[in-house]
Amino acid sequence: MRRVLIALVVLVAALGLGVFWIVTLPATVPASALGAYTPNPANGREMFYLGGCISCHATPGQDDKTKLGGGLGLKSPFGTFYVPNISPDPDDGIGRWSEVDFVTAMTKGTSPDGRHYFPAFPYPSYQRMRIEDVRDLFVHLKTLPPVKGKARDHDMAFPFNIRRVVGVWKLLFFDGKPFMLDASKSAAWNRGAYLVNGPGHCAECHSPRNLMGGIVAAQRFAGGPNPEGEGWIPNITQKALNDYSEKDIAYLLETGSTPEGDSVGGSMAAVVRNTAQLTPEDRAAMATYIKSLPPVEGPKPPPKK
């Protein structure tokens, strides 16, 4: 009987491991999904600034922000993530990546060698992007200067350092769906919703997260603790921005100036340096969408000392 029980335990464990292995398989985009396409370099540049590539991937301590050698440390409750080199360098960057490698990374969160990326890389938002926009972004990145050197490995404790476990996280918080237009809304609103929820990935910072690091859906855009552990990210729903007009929001995205005559600071200052590069039409569209966000009560910030 003891041998039978041991055999059953081993069998159940093996079946459980097999199911875990199957359901956590990293997803990829087949090369056949990418047909013939003529890139739009101007759009690639727009996606580059919308995506905030400079803010995370520019090598710290150097003036040329187009040198995307990585190395910035992003603190989190799970450890410190070190941003990788995404310059066109063939050895240390993405110079040897194929187009489908890049599309897979952006929309599936899977590396060219078939591993899950940690969601510090905001692919839960980038999955909403149009494939054409991702392809244009890839073309733009290839025009930037190559940078030698790889970023150091992430500093994470067990079990958070096991990439296969990210497959379970994706089952819970990564739906794999592209952005869907809302026919009841205007073209400007839909454009803004796409930019904010897709390449702009605004919810990644402006939303509170649960214990597993997933965005709390009911409080999306309602602000919360800075994911890096220092400071507080503000609520950008009408709970906090009720007195802001669409023009106020668009102007803030261009200049960093608030209607009260103040200026944004911290990580938002870096965001504004990017959104200032966008077309006025896209900033206006983002403002239209943000102004439409219903009021949502977010977490309470700690009292000021």
Claim to verify: residue 205 and residue 164 sit in the same structural domain? no
- Single out the residue of 214, 269, 264, 216 nearest to residue 244, CA to CA: 264
* Cα gap 282→270, rounded to integer Å: 18
Claim to verify: residue 259 and residue 285 sit in the same structural domain? yes
The answer to whether residue 154 sits within a structural domain is yes
Claim to verify: residue 240 and residue 166 sit in the same structural domain? no
Q: Which of 107, 142, 173 is the last residue of a domain?
A: 173
For 144, 209, 236, the CA distances from 134, given in Å and listed in that order, are: 16, 26, 26
Could you give the number of structural domains in the chain?
A: 2
User: Residues 302, 74: contact at Cβ < 8 Å?
Assistant: no
Helices marked H in the chain — which ranges? 2-23, 41-50, 53-57, 99-108, 123-126, 131-141, 166-173, 187-197, 203-206, 238-241, 246-255, 267-275, 280-292
Per-residue pLDDT of the chain (305 residues; tens, 9 = 90+): 667 676 666 666 666 666 656 767 888 999 888 988 999 999 999 999 999 899 889 998 887 888 999 888 888 888 889 999 999 999 999 999 999 999 999 999 999 999 999 998 999 999 999 999 999 999 999 999 999 999 888 988 888 788 888 888 898 899 988 999 999 999 999 999 999 999 999 999 899 999 888 999 999 999 888 876 677 889 999 998 999 999 999 999 999 898 887 888 778 888 999 999 999 999 999 999 999 999 999 888 777 66
Claim to verify: residue 47 and residue 129 sit in the same structural domain? yes
Q: Which of 173, 200, 220 is the last residue of a domain?
A: 173
- What pTM did the predictor assign? 0.88
Q: Which of 141, 173, 205 is the last residue of a domain?
A: 173
Claim to verify: residue 161 and residue 196 sit in the same structural domain? no
Claim to verify: residue 193 and residue 284 sit in the same structural domain? yes
Going edge to edge, which strands form the sheet with 79-82?
A: 73-76, 79-82, 155-156
Claim to verify: residue 43 and residue 91 sit in the same structural domain? yes
Strand partners, 209: 215
Domain coverage including residue 231 = 187-292
* Cα gap 179→195, rounded to integer Å: 10
The answer to whether residue 88 sits within a structural domain is yes
